[in-house]
Chain A
Amino acid sequence: MPSPSAPWTKNRRMAVMLLGVTALFFGFGFALVPLYDVFCELTGLNGRTSAATNVITTQTAGDTHRVVAVEFTSTVMPGLTWAITPQTARLEVHPGELHHVSYRVRNLSDKPVVAQAVPSVSPGLAAASFEKLECFCFSQQALDPGETRELPLAFTVKPGIDKDVQTITLAYAFFKLDDAKASPAAEIP
């Protein structure tokens, strides 16, 4: 075979290059995670609501020409023995108005339990226009055995909400926090 060394180095260089591409795409797989979060945050897609706003920008006088229905629901995730009921199932609001509703939770177990609610708004398109001014989901909830509590929620639907949205569903998933995680660490907007 004529000069086996020349093609061999050429091949080796190409293999190293392709390995680099492989590593790059492995990294890209992981980079998709923060990219996805940023994308969802920016666009408000995927039902992620923005974090709490301290400044109250809304006025109680709403856009009376428009009515949007807001529906409330909740899910208890496996491992949590709480009963959770939205006190209001459905509310028709004018964009811009401030509203207060509440969820009733009851710890059915005989132990103190810490849990956290994670909100999700459907359709995803409306998530950016759904503003929570006060929400029990901003912090962890600790309930003693058998305790019942009313959890408050204050929200407003921004006047700029997409004209195609007629109904917004606000769903909370309640997760039990392990003892280790029941600390100030898990701050979920």
Chain B
Amino acid sequence: MNTTTISDTASHHDEHDAPTGIARWLASTNHKDIGTLYLWFSLFMFFFAGALAMLVRAELFQPGLQLFQPEVFNQLTTMHGLIMIFGAIMPALVGFANWQIPLMIGAPDMAFPRLNNWSFWLLPAAGILLIATFFVPGGAISGGWTMYPPLYIQGGMAYDISILAIHILGISSIMGAINIITTILNMRAPGMTLMKMPLFVWTWLITAFLLVAVMPVLAAAITMLLTDRHFGTHFFNAAGGGDPVMFQHIFWFFGHPEVYIMILPAFGIISTTIPAFARKPLFGYASMVYAVASIAFLSFIVWAHHMFTTGMPVGGQLFFMYTTMLIAIPTGVKVFNWVATLWRGSITFETPMLFSIAFVCLFTIGGFSGLVLALVPVDIQLQDTYYVVAHFHYVLFSGSAMAIMAGVYYWLPKWSGRMYNETLGKLHFWLTAIAFNITFFPMHFLGLAGMPRRIPDYALQFADFNMISSIGGFMLGVSQLLFLYNVVQCIRRGTPAADKPWEGADTLEWTLSSPPPYHSFVTPPHIK
């Protein structure tokens, strides 16, 4: 993509109200500031929920109960999952959207700047509520992040607080999604047709539609839980003619698109970094767009593959098995296109590229274990075992989280105007990639051998793999401090970055200065 004009310089638009100090952040309507806030919030939550995972791995280091009673252990696993999903991965991706979408489509800001401010500032409120549940009588929620009744109906005060927090997070996500869709559809620079948009923007457009469609369904499900708890309804209570299995249907109607909400923008990041470092245009751009759209569509008709063991008739099992396996086709298109982009490219291996290549390899392992779980007879054996835990950490950590890290290293020079330390970045990458595999690869074996998930104690034959897994987990946790250090050092005293530090980068944001002016693209660039 070529641009004919380099729009504006830093100074001329800054005369109007630009608050400083804390007010700059509290009252900000600037997409760059809000993007930064989202990213810091998610980094904090990433470390908080990561610390919970460290406690989980500490308890599982040896068989027997050493550190926590089962109730506390269950709170740790539940809150780890809930916070990582709603507090770390989703806000990080929205942070990317805020920073990058206006820059990549040549828009001056998001469509609704004040709504954007509100979307962000709801998050800390929800985050505080969630963390506070550890200190209420009865402790935090402990029935798993999926919130299944009847456990979720029977629990204490934390359950109500968590419902409120999830409602707030949902409202924030929906408003963010409305903002993103409107920005992308209405505010592209002249000449930026839909099929010229960078793939990252495409993936976010489709993700935003998924959010608008399924976050309200989650809101409905947890509202029903709340009324079952307090207002005498019996949606999920068999005594009153309700059905707990129905909750699982409603929840997974949200839950399965939700997993694509967490991975599609990651696909977008990888589709940006791989062409940049292979110095070739993305292979099969149009097929990538159609693949993302088909994945999004299919995500609505596969939900019951999470429920093969609930007594579903064979016809239903077969339907959901085949639709699930169908998703492998568009996903395969994407993986092969990334590989074809790398083919005969002039590849260099800077930190973002290392993370991207690891993403392609490790996410594919997660995709394949997902195909294994899609097989009904296999899934009936593996349901709720560590195989499932291994599978979703391969797609969520080495998928979403490592794509986020790739994106942070890739765009940090643009955002901060300074270069990060490449040596430390590479060290962070290698430690993360190795520790990740030490942690999660053995979980495949544990699951195949029958170790159930969400249990603080286990049979002796699982001891060795658990110890390996815990050692890997501690390594993985400590390595992330290196990430924090590198980011902070980069912002504070990194060497100034060039406007376009990556030779192969070709999207619009690289036509601006590093860091970009506070108000960019006030005059839209013209795209040929």
Contact = CB atoms under 8 A, between A and B. Distances in A.
A26 B216 contact: yes
A27 B221 CA distance: 11
A25 B212 contact: yes
Contacts of B311: 46-47, 122-124
Nearest to A36: B246
A1 to B, nearest CB: 7
B238 interface: yes
Contacts of A7: 186-187
B178 interface: yes
B313 interface: yes
Contacts of B245: 46
Interface residues of A, number: 36
Interface string B92-122: 0000000000000000100110010000000
B246 A33 contact: yes
Nearest to B183: A11
A14 B250 contact: no
A29 B253 CA distance: 9
Contacts of A124: 311-313
A11 B182 contact: yes
Contacts of B218: 29
Contacts of A47: 311
B453 interface: no
B217 A28 contact: yes
B224 interface: yes
A23 B216 contact: yes
B435 interface: no
Interface residues of B, number: 40
A142 interface: no
B408 interface: no
A30 B224 contact: yes
B216 to A, nearest CB: 4
B220 A26 contact: yes
Given A32-B249, A125-B313, A21 B182 contact: no
A186 B250 CA distance: 25
Interface in A5-31: 7, 10-11, 14-15, 18-19, 21-30
Contact of B219 (A29, A36, A46): A29
Interface string A110-121: 000000101000
A14 B313 contact: no
B174 to A, nearest CB: 5
For the complex, would chain A's binding face be called helix, strand, loop or mixed by DSSP majority? helix
A153 interface: no
Given A32-B246, A46-B245, A47-B311, A14 B217 contact: no
Interface in B351-372: none
B214 interface: yes
A46 B250 CA distance: 15
Nearest to B154: A78
Contact of A25 (B187, B217, B224, B238): B217
Contacts of B239: 77, 116, 118, 173, 175
Nearest to B241: A188
A175 B253 CA distance: 30
Given A18-B182, A77-B239, A29 B108 contact: no
Contacts of B253: 29, 32
A67 interface: no
Nearest to A18: B178
A45 interface: yes
Interface in B236-271: 238-241, 243, 245-246, 249-250, 253
A32 B250 contact: yes
A46 B243 contact: yes
Given A10-B186, A77-B239, A118-B238, A29 B312 contact: no
Contacts of B235: 33
Given A1-B108, A15-B112, A15-B182, A36 B243 contact: yes
Nearest to B239: A175
A31 to B, nearest CB: 9
Nearest to B181: A18
A121 to B, nearest CB: 10
Nearest to A79: B239
B313 A19 contact: no
Interface in B201-244: 212-221, 224, 235, 238-241, 243
B186 A22 contact: no
Contacts of B316: 45
A35 B117 CA distance: 38
Interface in A115-149: 116, 118, 122-125
B522 interface: yes
B340 interface: no
A25 B186 contact: no
B185 interface: yes
Contacts of B241: 118, 186, 188
B217 A186 contact: no
Nearest to A125: B313
Interface of B: 108, 111-112, 115, 174, 177-178, 181-182, 185-187, 212-221, 224, 235, 238-241, 243, 245-246, 249-250, 253, 311-314, 316, 522
14 contacts: A11-B111, A14-B111, A15-B115, A18-B177, A18-B212, A22-B216, A25-B212, A26-B216, A32-B249, A77-B239, A122-B311, A173-B238, A175-B239, A186-B240
Interface of A: 1, 7, 10-11, 14-15, 18-19, 21-30, 32-33, 36, 40, 45-47, 77, 116, 118, 122-125, 173, 175, 186, 188
Given A25-B214, A118-B239, 10 more contacts: A10-B186, A14-B186, A18-B177, A18-B181, A24-B216, A25-B213, A27-B220, A28-B216, A118-B241, A186-B241
